[in-house]
Amino acid sequence: MNSGNLSALDRIQAAANSGDLDLVLTTIDEVCAPDMIVSTPLKLTVSGAEAQKVVFRTLHETGRIAQTWGVVDTAAQMRQLGLIPDIKH
């Protein structure tokens, strides 16, 4: 990943952690491609960066957690437990 991508990710994360919805929306405009792909279980009527804004608006409106998704890296867990070898390239 190049430093520009890392900078964009750092800016989005900092904005999201600020709790300032206006800052999040402005940052999305500044660092996200207008046609970005947004994968979310939300029913959206927009796409791209506008969809990302809907996601963050929803996160800032919901008083309770409605859904979570987890990703499990089973192979990494098995390597850590010594059940499969750690392959170095």
CA-only gyration radius of the chain, Å = 17
| DSSP for 36-56, written as a single string | -----SS--S--HHHHHHHHH
Phi, psi of 18 (to 5 degrees): -70, -25
pLDDT digits (tens, 9 = 90+) for 24-39: 999 999 999 999 999 8
pLDDT digits (tens, 9 = 90+) for 32-58: 999 999 988 888 999 999 999 999 998
Residue with tokens 């390239």: 89
Q: Whole domain around residue 77: which residue ranges?
A: 1-89
pTM of the model: 0.67
Contacts of 57 (CB under 8 A, 6+ apart): 21, 25
* Total of domains in the chain: 1
